[in-house]
Every structure is written in structure tokens, then in C-alpha cells.
Amino acid sequence: MEALIRWIAESLVIKSIGFLFSREVWGSSVLYRILEKIADTSKVLFRGSFIGILMQSEPWEKNALSSSRFCKVLFYRTNSLAAFKGIIRDAVENSYCYGFLAKICLDFTARPFKILSLVFLPAIFTYAALKGLFSGLSFGEFTAFVIAAGVLITSYFINLNLYEIFKGSFILKAACLLHVRQNSVFSGVDVKYSGLLYLLLGASLGVLRFYLPFKAAVKLIIPAMLLPLIYIKPHFGIYIMAFILPLVDTIYSVLLVGLIFAVMLLKAGKGEFEVPNGTVPAALFFASAAIAAIFSVARFESLKVLLIYAAYFMTFLAFYHFCRKEKVMKTALLFQAISTVGISLYGIYQYFYVKKPTAIAWVDTRLFPEITMRVYATLENPNVLAEYLVFVVPVVLAFIWTSDKVERKLTFCGMLGIILTCLVMTLSRGGWLGLAVAVLIFALAVDRRLFAALMLIAALSPVFLPTVIINRIASIGSLEDSSNAYRVTIWVATLRMLKDYWLTGLGLGLQAFSKVYRDYMIAGTPALHSHNFYLQLGLEMGILGLVSFIWFVWAELKGINRIMRVGNTEKAVFAVAVAGAISGHLFHGLFDHVWFSPRIGMTFWEMAGILAALTASAEAKELQGEIGRS
């Protein structure tokens, strides 16, 4: 693999393209000099002004907040509540319930097979007995119970700890999931557990499973298992969040991030929780969301949507807080990549084996009669799936670039191939454009030879791509495509609405939009939203919401300069990948309402939190360097 990459990089074609895009060539061009002159003039004009402060690369928010009278009062109140927080924390950690759950975690780490056997063996026996007494067992169910019992009885005698099970595996090597070494505290631990308690716990699970439907039992049991795990190891909640985001309904992700945020506040020590980059514009953004909800034309619906916006803010702060540790950041992104491979495989399966006609709203059958299926996997809509995949592709590229072994590079290349295949099958033109922006940013920042290789692949791709894909790409911007003409009509109507609701917005959520849109629609064109993220933000939240969001994005992306300046190659690659993912997402927003699904909105704020964490890490390292030099 490395030999192939070296051969491509050293080929005459790649070297020629790389030379054309080198700094030596374009740095002396007239266009570059004009842009440089405009930038220098802007710095002089705006120096010392509010706009100049926003555009400067140095962080100023922490100093501004620390000197703010409002923040001094707020921090004073927060410090006065620290004793109350300590009382709650002590009450939880000294309780019998917490002690028992912590003991279960330790027991499971030391002897996972034995504990699973002690819990699930009585569970299946209890369930089988109740089912046999009250409704009867079929031969197939009886056989399944016997096989499960045989496996669990055998597992009782397997005396391995969790590290020994995963030792040498890809999961442990790549993610460092257990955060332990061979000579850790869990190696050879002799845990004294009460078998009777586990038997009673298992019997209770069996009773619950019998009296509750399967989904209801799962919804009750899994949160009960997650609560102690997240309290004991809060960063595990970040991993779970990154993994389940595209798999479950929004309500579960909101509840999970609320739990993570509460535990973070409860367990954070003095000085642990810092102000992330972009806090001021983010606070203004969420304040404008609250104002829009209060003055909404559909207030009740908007106040419910405001809870999702609160979850966005908690996601940003939680991922920032925990992902300042590089190991946590990389593990969370790895879990997200693995989850994305899963939904991509499901999407590919859907394309070939699920014979469900594509919705008329998703494709112009007059222009594309050959399109019979656009995949959407677990995300209800092919465009939403494409939006999510665009977030993950640059991250997988970063794993490929930073992996030091050929087998890992090949593994991640396989993952990338699966995700890209699914992205192609979404037939989302906005997603493809967003991907192009994300990958180009990654290539330009990491290695210009990669950019040259991508240009060559793009030039040769028409030879290999199916006709339907080429036609789909060629239709980008064509008003003959009904979906493009449909968007233009809605944009014009939205601009008319924005003229009347530019100050406070018409309110959060699709119901507020639908309530007003019917009075502004053109030629009876129906719409759920404006099909443009920025128009939608301005319409829902007013001018303050739109400006504060653009300010927040600028504050996040300008931190890349600091990260690159510090020179930690691996962190810089991941930072560029995340910045590319955010940029591709925002470019897609020119053609669609990319937060139509709250899961995509939460993914954006997750990525923003990770980028803020990487920026904070670079700031800390740069400060240490300055102290060392002084």
C-alpha cells in the first residue's frame, strides 16, 4: 500500500499537477497579490473595531468573559453552589445503590463471562418457566433456551478478565477502549462477589422480559445499565453518544447527552471546566433561539424544539470537555466511524435487496427514469444520510493518514470504501458537493500531492462511473430538474417571508414555517422548509441568530491556524479533517435545510466541540512553549 502511494506521488502527472498548485507558482500571481493587498488593507481599516476583534486569530473570549461584570456575578453564584454540588455527589457515591453498581462494573471487568452467566442464566430460566406456565413453549423456543443455557453454563468456567479478552485485538489497539495495560489493576484481580445478588438480578430481568414487550424491556433495561456506567466513566457516554447518534431516535440521544452533561457538571473539579473557543457567539445563538421560541407564531411547538437546541449546546460543551484528552477524542471518532460503516452496509443492503419504490419527492422520474432506489438507511431520507456520511468521510481519511501500520491503513481504506459506496447510492447531489469541499480542504491542508491525485481521479472518473451518476452530476444547477426549480421557487418565497420576520424570526420548528409559508408560497408550491440552511436560520431565529451562527463558525474554523502553528502533526490532521467535515456540511446547507433532522444538528455540534477541544489543546501547548522560552 505504501509503495503504491509512493509510486503515485512520484509519478510525472502528480508532480506536474502539484507544481501548478504550489506556492511558488500561485504566490507570485496577480490574483494572489490582489487578495493579499485586500487582506492587509482590511486589517488596517478594522484594527481596534468590533469587526476587527471578531476577525483576529488570537483568542479574546476568555479575557472578555473573565472581565465581564455579568460573568463575575454568574461565576460567584456558581462557586457558591459548589458546596451543594459536593453534597449531592457525596450522597450519590456513598449510597448503597452506587456501591453495588460500581461493584458490578469491577466484577464484570475482572470476570465478564462468569458475571454474564450468573445474570443471564437465571434470566432465561425465569422467562422460560413463566412462558411455559402461562402461554406454553414451542419446540423452537425450547431448543433456543437449551442452547443459550448450554453456552452460559460453559461461560461460567471461563476465568478471563476484560483486557485478556480484547488483548491484541484491533478494537483495543486502535481505540484503547479499556485504558488499561497488561500489568494494570485488573490483571489478576481477585474480586469477591455475591453470586446470590446476580442470580436475583437475572431473575428480575426474566420477569421484566415476560411481562413487558421486548422493546419496552430493552428501553427499561439498557438505560438502567448505562446510568451507573456513565456516572463512573463519563467519557464512555461520549463513546456511546458518537456510536448511537445515527441509529436511534432523537429523544434517546437528547436524554443521553443530558445525562452526560449533568454528570460532567457534577463531577468536574475546580478549574476543570474551561470556556471553549466560540462560547460568546454560541451563547448569542442559543439566546436568539430562546427569543425566537418566545415570540414564535407557533409558541408551543417552538418551545419543544428549543429543548433540542439546548441539547445542541450541551453536546458542544460535553464533547469539548471530554475530547481535550486526545485518546478520548480519537476513540469517540473511531466509534462514530464504526457506526457509520454499519449504517452504510445497511444502506447498500437496502439498495440491492429492499424493493421499495423511491418517493416521488426524492427524484425527478422524467429526467431520471432509471432511478428506482435512493438509500436512506436509518436516517429516513437520502439527503439526511448523505449529510451524515459527509461528516465522517474526512475523519476516516485522517485515520488512514495517521495510521502507522499497513494493516490499519487497509482496514480504514475498506471502511472508507463502504461509506463512499453508500454515499454514491444516496444520489444526493448536495451531499456529493459537500464531500468535494470537505475532501479538497483536507487534501490542500494535509498534502498538496493528495489534492493533485484527487484532481486526477476527478478527471478520470467519467470513464468508470455509471451513466446515472454522470447524469445526476450533470443536472446540478439545471432548472430542467424539477427539484432544482422547486428550490428556486421556495427560496424566493422564503426571502419574501424574511423581509417581514427578519428581526425576531417566526419561531423554531417546521410548524411555524408551515403556518406562515402558505401566505407567501408561489404558484401553490408546497414546502416543509426553505431548502436552504441559512435562509431557514434567518427566518426562524431572525438576524441575530444568523449573524451569531456565522460568527460561531468563523470562531471555530480560525482556530485551525493555531493548531497548525503548534505543529502536532497527528492532532493537526484530525483538526483539518473535522474542519473539512464542518465546511462540507455548511456548503451542503446552501442547497438544503441540513438540520431538518436533529440528529444531523447534534452531529454538527459534536464536531464543533471536538474542534474547540483541539484548539484549546493547541493553545495550552503554545502557552507552555512561551513559558519555556521565557
CA atoms within 13 A on the CB side of 464: 5
pLDDT at position 174 is 47
66 to 53, 63, 75, 324: CA distances (angstroms): 17, 5, 9, 21
In a domain, 234, yes or no: no
Q: Are 365 and 501 in a shared domain?
A: yes
Residue 549 to residue 282: CA distance in whole angstroms: 7
Q: Are 336 and 458 in a shared domain?
A: yes
In a domain, 252, yes or no: no
In a domain, 292, yes or no: yes
Over residues 374-411, the pLDDT tens digits come to 888 888 889 899 999 999 999 999 999 888 888 888 99
Residue 409 to residue 399: CA distance in whole angstroms: 8
Residue 137 to residue 114: CA distance in whole angstroms: 27
Angle at 578 between CA 575 and CA 581, to 5 degrees: 150
In a domain, 239, yes or no: no
Residue 434 to residue 377: CA distance in whole angstroms: 19
Residue 625 to residue 630: CA distance in whole angstroms: 9
Going by the DSSP 8-state scheme, the letter that residue 361 receives in this structure is: G
pLDDT at position 26 is 54
| Domain tally, the chain | 2
CA atoms within 13 A on the CB side of 247: 17
Structural domain range at position 181: 93-185+192-227
Residue 23 to residue 29: CA distance in whole angstroms: 10
Q: Are 517 and 590 in a shared domain?
A: yes
339 to 78, 113, 223, 463: CA distances (angstroms): 38, 25, 19, 32
435 to 392, 439, 597: CA distances (angstroms): 10, 6, 19
Written as one letter, the residue type at 385 is L
Q: Are 203 and 289 in a shared domain?
A: no
Helix (H) or strand (E) segment spanning residue 608: helix 598-629
Q: Are 168 and 288 in a shared domain?
A: no
Q: Are 213 and 334 in a shared domain?
A: no
Helix (H) or strand (E) segment spanning residue 157: none
Mark the ranges of the chain whose per-residue pLDDT is less than 50.
1, 4-5, 8, 50, 170-171, 174-193, 364-365, 367-369
In a domain, 205, yes or no: yes
Q: Are 311 and 222 in a shared domain?
A: no
In a domain, 203, yes or no: yes
Nearest to 169 by CA among 416, 411, 402: 411
Q: Are 283 and 222 in a shared domain?
A: no
Angle at 50 between CA 49 and CA 55, to 5 degrees: 95
- The size of the chain, in residues, is 630
pLDDT at position 110 is 75
Q: Are 398 and 497 in a shared domain?
A: yes
In a domain, 156, yes or no: yes
Q: Are 200 and 103 in a shared domain?
A: yes
pLDDT at position 277 is 79
Q: Are 393 and 514 in a shared domain?
A: yes
In a domain, 61, yes or no: no
